[in-house]
Structure 1
Amino acid sequence: MTDVDSGSRTTGSGPEPSRAGVRLEDPGLVRAWTRGATAALRRERAAIDRVNVFPVADADTGTNLYLTFREGDRAVAGAPSGATGTQLLATLARAALLGARGNSGVILSEWLRGLAVAARRGAGTAELFTRAATSARSAVARPAEGTILTAADAAAAAARAAESSLERDAGPGSVGTAGPLPVVTAAAAAARTAARASRDELDALRVAGVLDAGALGLVLVLDALVVAAAGEASGGVSVADGSMDAVNLDQLLDAGAPPPVTETPDVGPHGVEGGTGGLELMFVLAAPASAAAEAVAAGLRAALGEVGDSVVVVGGDAGTGTAVWQAHVHTDHLDRALTIAAKAAREGSLAQVHVRHLEAVHQHEWGVVAATSAPGLAAELAHAGAVVLLTGGLGSTVEALTAEDVGRAAASTGARRVLLLGVPDAGAGGEAQLDVDEVVAVQAPTDLHAVVALAALGTLLPVGLPDGPPDGSASPSVDARAIVDQALAALTVVEAKGAAAVEALRDAAGPATTLATALLDGDVPDGLSGRLAAALAERAPEAELVVLSTGRPGDRVHLGTEEDA
């Protein structure tokens, strides 16, 4: 059986002689590593997605790890040619933190940050791995064994043992002479062993008969580091010039795997019994750096842990005068989680406030990204199948959307074709970075347009849609844009304030009206919903009224009426 490998080395060949003075943070090694790890994760993202069952079986761990590392790789590629390896590691870690996707991506970004911090302090290779593993574990509110954290710990322990062995065998100073290759090789092998053992450490993995997806991702990252270190040791062999063999995880995934058990594990969507949390919330928090930076992260973990699971908070003071954190939680109490985020941002700002329904991933060829300043609608839009970007309405500063924000959200849909609803022009201009086949921007000047568009796509984007017809044939391609255009053409929108909305609905509705939708801001008069229902019943007795709260302050009411074609 061939070992999983992300490079051209062969099992059992042993470390190659190392050029004197080579260190893990040498710039050529860092650049080669980021290219190689990104290529490996891109090739194997689908294989890792297939075995993703913990903490949520949402089949996107491979994609999230790839997207996270890709952000770092792009930043490293764009760094000045004279940047030091330590600077490149810091660049890699910061970009990965800001671009992290999903529970696994956020953890990986903190592992990279720990690596960068240790490098800045001049630590040796083993200490870099130790700090990386410690940082990753401390970022998780409730760490679980048999995961990427376990693989990181195993890699760190093996690196320390290898470094100690080198010191014993050749005396002090031998590690620097030998270079990082023996230590990195030991770390990668230990992570691979930990990944193989993960099925026996987590019930969810045992029942599914798979290995942990996050641990497998770290194996690829570390194996790419071995290849980069070997390249530097032999004089700087490029990882991007075709010298890397295709990564193949199949043998590792299948090695000794028992047949899947037919029973369903008594595990909630977070890998814990009775867990709840159908929505994923992620946000970036920036605030002035202070001595209390660590307390901010700990406070966020504790507060988010009260409203959900899979809580991870990473980041901190990067020495630039501003501290930056990325937070992640799965929750069924989105309003409370958003309140926690807004409270944490009182002296700073929020960015990339991203809401997604965990069961709506990979649902169809089409995905939807919807931007809104109405926090009360975020859960509604996410449950309808959209990845939601919140642009305001939280009582704290929310940074304007960028093309990169939209690109990350588009990739998070898991679809190859994406509709953008209500995305500002500034955020819709980065199609080249979206990593999808087709992007269609739809004009949605109000939140009502987004609500109606998603309702029209209800038969296209139901949560849990099968992969295809029962006979195994391919699903017929559909024109999502045409469906949305037809629905919006039948929509009439009016705006009113407070109680004036009742008369506005009487004027807008008529005998042909089949559906009216009312979006109410948070300060409208009590009982307004009932008065709107009565007014609609007068004008269109057969029509249905849908009332949704925007969660925004103010007394505005947006009314939409629809008629049968």
Structure 2
Amino acid sequence: MSVRTLDAQREAIDKINVFPVADGDTGSNLLETMRAALEALLRAPVDQRSEAGAALGVLAKGALAGARGNSGVIVSQMLRGLAESLRAVDQAGAHDVAKAMVRAAELAAEAVAEPRAGTMLTVLTASAAGARRIRSGVLHEVAAAAARAASEALSLTPQQLDVLADAGVVDAGGRGVLLLLESLVTVVNERDEPVVPYSTSQPSPLAAREAGSTEFGYEVMYLLDSTTDDATAVLRDKLSNLGDCVSVVGDGDGLWTVHVHCNDIGAAIEAGVEAGRPYRIMVARFADAEGAPSRFGRARVVVIPARGSGIAALFRTEGALVLEIGADDEPDVWDLLNLITSTGASQVTVLPGDDGLMGIADEAAARAVAGGQDVVVIPCVSPVQALAALAVHDSARRAGDDVVSMAEAAAATRRGELVVASEDAITWIGPCRAGDLLGFADGEVMRIEHGPVEEATVLRGACAVVDRMLTAGGELVTALLGADAPDSLSDELEKHLRREFPAVEFVAYRGGQRDTVLMFGVE
């Protein structure tokens, strides 16, 4: 099904290669790579074709041996990731497939020395996130979710690469990924024709020399064996010094595919001879072309992963791009990475706004940086700190100065919380019981209001916490009211501050968070 679909779409994909030059070979490369994979499977023993993991392993080896261009190498690693994840599974279910797609995206990204946003890697990453996000136990629903996510990501590629927007097309490699996923949906549903047309209405996508600088005039590819991991690492470094678009990837069983764009063909092949035994050497000359335009369509954005719809809506009104995370959902680094890369911005500032989101923010940023974006994570362990940072954001400033100002604002914001204790515990100010109201200032318990939690209890605790925090000074108090906060809390708290601290400004928002009754920020 995949080969038949790519064969039907090959010319359409080839015709829209516009980045960075119109080589017109992405569709052909994908088709030849998948044909090589299919031929390997057809030649394999019956026992290797009857089980999903083993069959995918054969497909991956065949694709690697017959890989054409960057897109072919990436597809071979995508198949390898699926094979590795499903090889040990007796009968693959929906959750197994979702995990396998994440592994496929990881290996595909590792295959490219300098990943680019707006290409097939972006689409593949989005499809993996879509498969994970659906959390369905039904295989065809997971496959359909992956295809839908890929289609959405593909439609955004012109926002990430100006050359695509100018030509009115999407990424050709990404289009190929979507076609493969559409084929998967068709097969899973046991149909001969596509079940749902996830493809965009644009005339099949983009790419061209698929990536890289026009400084280099030749594409060199070969297979390599009789080598070691250390030798291939040295080879990768040597090729990186010769050109770009370097990939040196293996099948896990001694066979490697080597790819580079360069000017010194002899040196690229000699480096392979020093590393092992190169064979099936292919060299292609790129047509002369204009220089490639910038890959980014905008200069700078602020991205915030946020728990709860109320807080997410608040950040959006302040101009941030928000990844909304449900109160009971586990944060997903792939979802945040997809948002960062899909912004099309050269510089991205991430404000986690939650101690539990710092880890995924750091990992997503590291992956995006590896893909060429400038991404900075500003430590924020509370939404009130993220709000303070966002309030001083100024896109007209130099990027470095803006990040410093935001970081200083977040660090200068002291935070407080009112939380209902979920169990009996011992705090440093005394014991508490489940159902008591705990007041925190900068992460430390400083007040216990014994339950049951009522309107008067909440107001008393809130006043005690904010009074303690203002003893160290402050000009502005920001309050985020949780879902369980009394309706009158904002007005009563404002009256208290006017009476006790008349010079302090007060602002309150309905955050709607369920894990805290109230959050404070003091600046």
| TM-score normalised over the length of structure 1 | 0.47
Instruction: Work out the CA distance in 1 between the residues paired with 2:184 and 2:36.
Output: 17
Q: In the TM superposition, what is the alpha-carbon distance from 1:296 to its structure 2 partner?
A: 4.4
Instruction: Work out the CA distance in 2 between the residues paired with 1:313 and 1:278.
Output: 19
Instruction: Work out the CA distance in 2 between the residues paired with 1:268 and 1:245.
Output: 29
Aligned identity (percent) is 37
Q: Provide the residue aligned with 1:226 in structure 2.
A: 185
Q: Does 1:351 align with 2:279?
A: yes
Q: Does 1:52 align with 2:17?
A: yes
Distance 1:181 1:206, change over 3 A: same
Kindly provide the CA deviation profile for residues 228-279 of structure 1, in whole angstroms up to 9, marking residues without a partner as x.
Answer: 1111xxxxx5x4xxx5699896823389x9xxxxxxxxx997755x641111
Q: Does 1:327 align with 2:258?
A: yes
Instruction: Work out the CA distance in 2 between the residues paired with 1:248 and 1:53.
Output: 23
Aligned partners of 1:195 and 1:216 also within 8 Å: yes
Kindly provide the CA deviation profile for residues 181-226 of structure 1, in whole angstroms up to 9, marking residues without a partner as x.
Answer: 1111101111111111111101232232211000000000000000
Aligned partners of 2:182 and 2:194 also within 8 Å: no
Q: Which residue of 140, 145, 166 corresponds with 1:181?
A: 140
Q: Provide the residue aligned with 1:62 in structure 2.
A: 27
Q: Does 1:80 align with 2:45?
A: yes
Q: Provide the residue aligned with 1:304 in structure 2.
A: 239
Which runs of structure 2 are paired with 1:155-166 in the superposition (5 Å)? 155-163=127-135, 166=136
Distance 1:296 1:135, change over 3 A: farther
Instruction: Work out the CA distance in 2 between the residues paired with 1:101 and 1:203.
Output: 26
Q: Which residue of 262, 270, 283 corresponds with 2:222?
A: 283
Instruction: Work out the CA distance in 2 between the residues paired with 1:94 and 1:142.
Output: 23
Q: RMSD value over aligned CA atoms? A: 2.9
Amino acid of the structure 1 residue aligned with 2:117: E
Q: In the TM superposition, what is the alpha-carbon distance from 1:337 to its structure 2 partner?
A: 1.2
Amino acid of the structure 1 residue aligned with 2:119: T
Q: Provide the residue aligned with 1:134 in structure 2.
A: 106
Amino acid of the structure 2 residue aligned with 1:139: A
Q: Does 1:125 align with 2:56?
A: no
Distance 1:300 1:254, change over 3 A: closer
Aligned partners of 2:249 and 2:257 also within 8 Å: yes
Aligned partners of 2:186 and 2:195 also within 8 Å: no
Which runs of structure 2 are paired with 1:193-204 in the superposition (5 Å)? 193-204=152-163
Kindly provide the CA deviation profile for residues 105-142 of structure 1, in whole angstroms up to 9, marking residues without a partner as x.
Answer: 11111111111111124381111100100000011010
Aligned partners of 1:41 and 1:220 also within 8 Å: yes
Amino acid of the structure 2 residue aligned with 1:307: L
The 3-state SS of whatever aligns with 2:62 is helix
Instruction: Work out the CA distance in 1 between the residues paired with 2:172 and 2:258.
Output: 21
Q: Provide the residue aligned with 1:95 in structure 2.
A: 62
Amino acid of the structure 2 residue aligned with 1:188: A
Q: Does 1:338 align with 2:288?
A: no
- Pair member with larger Rg: 2
Q: Provide the residue aligned with 1:37 in structure 2.
A: 2
Q: Does 1:105 align with 2:36?
A: no
Aligned partners of 1:312 and 1:329 also within 8 Å: yes
Q: Provide the residue aligned with 1:143 in structure 2.
A: 115
Aligned partners of 1:284 and 1:327 also within 8 Å: yes
Instruction: Work out the CA distance in 2 between the residues paired with 1:250 and 1:214.
Output: 14
Q: In the TM superposition, what is the alpha-carbon distance from 1:48 to its structure 2 partner?
A: 0.4
Distance 1:143 1:296, change over 3 A: farther
Amino acid of the structure 1 residue aligned with 2:61: R
The 3-state SS of whatever aligns with 1:312 is strand
Distance 1:148 1:298, change over 3 A: farther
Q: Does 1:252 align with 2:217?
A: no
Aligned partners of 1:280 and 1:328 also within 8 Å: yes
Kindly provide the CA deviation profile for residues 350-384 of structure 1, in whole angstroms up to 9, marking residues without a partner as x.
Answer: 211111112299xxxxxxxxxxxxxxxxxxxxxxx
Amino acid of the structure 2 residue aligned with 1:314: V
Aligned partners of 1:93 and 1:113 also within 8 Å: yes
Distance 1:116 1:228, change over 3 A: same
Unaligned runs of 5+ in 2: 290-523
Amino acid of the structure 2 residue aligned with 1:131: R
Q: Does 1:116 align with 2:72?
A: no
Distance 1:315 1:207, change over 3 A: same
The 3-state SS of whatever aligns with 1:144 is coil
The 3-state SS of whatever aligns with 2:45 is coil
Aligned partners of 1:49 and 1:60 also within 8 Å: yes
Amino acid of the structure 1 residue aligned with 2:186: V
Instruction: Work out the CA distance in 2 between the residues paired with 1:126 and 1:246.
Output: 19
Aligned partners of 2:26 and 2:210 also within 8 Å: no
Kindly provide the CA deviation profile for residues 426-476 of structure 1, in whole angstroms up to 9, marking residues without a partner as x.
Answer: xxxxxxxxxxxxxxxxxxxxxxxxxxxxxxxxxxxxxxxxxxxxxxxxxxx
Instruction: Work out the CA distance in 2 between the residues paired with 1:42 and 1:271.
Output: 23
Q: Provide the residue aligned with 2:500 in structure 1.
A: none
| TM-score normalised over the length of structure 2 | 0.50
Instruction: Work out the CA distance in 2 between the residues paired with 1:249 and 1:160.
Output: 21
Aligned partners of 1:275 and 1:309 also within 8 Å: no
Instruction: Work out the CA distance in 2 between the residues paired with 1:51 and 1:221.
Output: 18
Aligned partners of 1:44 and 1:247 also within 8 Å: no
The 3-state SS of whatever aligns with 2:201 is helix
Instruction: Work out the CA distance in 2 between the residues paired with 1:151 and 1:269.
Output: 18
Instruction: Work out the CA distance in 2 between the residues paired with 1:223 and 1:217.
Output: 10
Q: Provide the residue aligned with 2:167 in structure 1.
A: 208
Q: Provide the residue aligned with 2:369 in structure 1.
A: none
Q: In the TM superposition, what is the alpha-carbon distance from 1:57 to its structure 2 partner?
A: 2.4
Q: Provide the residue aligned with 1:7 in structure 2.
A: none
Aligned residues: 282
Amino acid of the structure 2 residue aligned with 1:109: S
Aligned partners of 1:107 and 1:312 also within 8 Å: no
The 3-state SS of whatever aligns with 1:251 is coil
